[in-house]
């Protein structure tokens, strides 16, 4: 089947098998390997992407279901001006360990903050309930999302100057 899909603002037309999962289209066909494929059962959430501004698990969506829709992946978070605040906060607050769940956590966190700029700890925990982290126990992940909310609310003096961020020249 031929599909047309917008991924991170770029239009793609692809011939795909009807049974192809969105996660495989993204990783194998488009080379966007930031979206992790973890369990293939929709349990872990490492493959979370946005489909028309809603988080979905890409291992539960067929590529043909994305026909005519907009997909946003982890690769879209970084811009010309640098890392997204959520990414910077995960670094500052040690919200990642092995990094496997991180793309799904970041996409879910970004969605939450776009829809609720002042979440409570309970809001964050509810938003990430579909994500499995095997390393951190979630404390630093929750702290990272709350840190990002504080930073975006302007509670830090200057972008990139949040407590705990080490500036490393490239």
In a domain, 164, yes or no: no
Report the alpha-carbon angle 76-55-12, nearest 5: 50
The verdict on 103 and 146 lying in the same domain is yes
The verdict on 71 and 95 lying in the same domain is no
CATH number at residue 89: 1.10.150.120
Quick: pLDDT tens for 12-71: 999 999 999 999 999 999 999 999 887 767 788 889 999 999 999 999 999 999 999 999
Q: Are strands 2-7 and 48-51 parallel, antiparallel or unpaired?
A: unpaired
Contact assessment for residue 33 and residue 24, using Cβ atoms and an 8 Å cutoff:
no
* Average pLDDT value for residue range 141-153: 96
Contact assessment for residue 83 and residue 131, using Cβ atoms and an 8 Å cutoff:
no
Please give the residue range of the domain that contains residue 148.
Answer: 85-152
The verdict on 97 and 63 lying in the same domain is no
């Amino acid at each position: 089947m031929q599909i047309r899909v917008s991924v991170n603002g770029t239009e793609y037309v692809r011939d795909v098998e009807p049974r192809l999962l969105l996660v495989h289209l993204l990783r194998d066909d488009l080379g966007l390997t930031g979206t992790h494929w973890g369990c293939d059962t929709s349990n872990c959430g490492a493959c979370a992407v946005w489909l028309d501004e809603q988080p979905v698990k890409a291992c539960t969506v067929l590529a043909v279901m994305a026909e005519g829709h907009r997909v946003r992946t982890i690769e879209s978070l970084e811009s010309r001006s640098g890392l997204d605040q959520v990414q910077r906060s995960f670094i500052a607050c040690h919200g990642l360990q092995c990094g496997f769940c991180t793309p799904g956590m970041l996409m879910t966190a970004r969605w939450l903050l776009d829809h609720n700029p002042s979440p409570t700890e309970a809001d964050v925990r509810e938003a990430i309930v579909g994500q499995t982290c095997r390393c951190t126990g979630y404390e630093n992940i929750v702290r990272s999302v709350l840190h990002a909310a504080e930073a975006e609310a302007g509670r830090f003096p200057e972008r990139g100057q949040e407590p705990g961020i080490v500036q490393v020249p490239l």
